[in-house]
Amino acid sequence: MVTGQGVVTPLGTGVDKFWAALKSGACGIREVQNFDVEDLYITIAGEVPDFDPRERDLSRQLILADKYSQYAGCAAKEAMTQSQLEMPLKDDDSYRAACVIGSGVGGITTLETSYKMLFKENKRATHPLTLLKAIGSSASAHVSIEYGIKGPTFGVVSACSTAAHSIGLVYRMIREGGVDLGLAGASEASLNWGTTRAWQAMRVLSPDGLFPFSKQRNGTVLAEGSGILMLEEYEHAKARGALILAELMGYGTTSDAADMVNPSIEGASTAMQMALDDSGLAASDIDYVNAHGTATAVNDINETRSIKRVFGGHANDLSISSTKSMHGHCLGAGGGIEAVATIKAIGENYVPPTMGLHEPDPECDLDYTPNAGKEREVNYAMSNSFAFGGLNAVLVFGPPPA
């Protein structure tokens, strides 16, 4: 069961603010403000606005941490508060809780700053906390310390599928009886000059905006943030009278084992089918798909073909959208942020839009909810995450049990 959720996004911090922005079709992609864009031809990104860790009531340890850990701490705090669990956990309960919070690249801005100090400014040393700030398990460790979580605690790394894999792992831990509850998701704060330069060299970034499934699409847009869920075993949640937001019903994961950049139809469609099989639902039961939808040439066509392979004729009855069109590609955190959007779609029977979709690609011919969201009954929904390296993770959500 999902009993809490939290986000930090380019559309704002907090689930209510984020969801209101999605419904209104707001755009969090703007000209870069937080780092020097000298020598870059990509000058837009999805930066988190107005985030001061000192104003978020974070611990001193988190205030001293890398921004990716701060984002995770803020999203986890919102999820914990909504769950109304008593924290910190005590005694044996602390070992029955998990904290799996991943990141695609961890504290890469800390590393960039440190290398600049050493090799450009010729300083003799870096900040004494450089190592602790940079490592990819820092966010999960910080959050476990905050809430006394002593069970499985680690970070997952699978590029843009990181959050979905993290959520899937905790889901399986709970289902197999290893833990009763757990925080799961990912965080990313990799917007800096060096990262943009590296992505720019791959020729997959757009200088204009992120326009999924559109004929005019010309690349994705880097973004940052965090999305974290509190997952809980049903009887555990029921016994304490928790408000259940949704049920995580299925998880599927595959590897294309084919190419580092070009996604395959087989890998994505198999992961989707596995998630459906795991949920016990038929393809015809799904009402909404939150697509990976990166606005790269190959991904959008292959995702469309994968959806058609799995859903058959029902593909034409699906509502689909890529919320990346509004918040950008949050990399490892994307699947967590998009899981929250998927859960809200179920809770409010509302499908958020795909913005900027004025002229669809003829090969992307499904209902992508162009430019305006819509009300429709959403009982069951799927969230797709497909990463570089062909690493696929798919989640299926449903309403709270009756």
Q: Is the CB of residue 217 less than 8 Å from the CB of residue 295?
A: yes
Candidate list 160, 236, 330, 364, residue with the active-site label: 160
Among the listed residues 292, 327, 330, 364, the single catalytic one is 292
Q: Catalytic residue at 327?
A: no
Cβ atoms within 10 Å, residue 285 = 15
> Contact at 8 Å (CB) between 347 and 363?
no
Radius of gyration of the chain (CA): 20
Look up residue 313 and give its amino acid: G
Written as one letter, the residue type at 335 is: G
Q: Give the ranges where 316-363 is alpha helix by DSSP (H).
A: 324-327, 334-348
What distance in Å separates the CA atoms of residue 189 and residue 191, rounded to the nearest whole number? 6
Q: What SS3 class is residue 328?
A: coil
The dihedrals phi and psi of 332, each to the nearest 5 degrees, come to -60, -30
Q: What distance in Å separates the CA atoms of residue 331 and residue 220, rounded to the nearest whole number? A: 11
SS (H, E, C) 275-307: HHHHHCCCHHHCCEEECCCCCCHHHHHHHHHHH
Annotated active-site residue 236? The verdict is no
Residue 329 known to be catalytic: yes
Active-site annotation holder among 165, 236, 327, 329:
329
Neighbours of 274 (CB within 10 A): 18
Catalytic residue numbers read 160, 292, 329
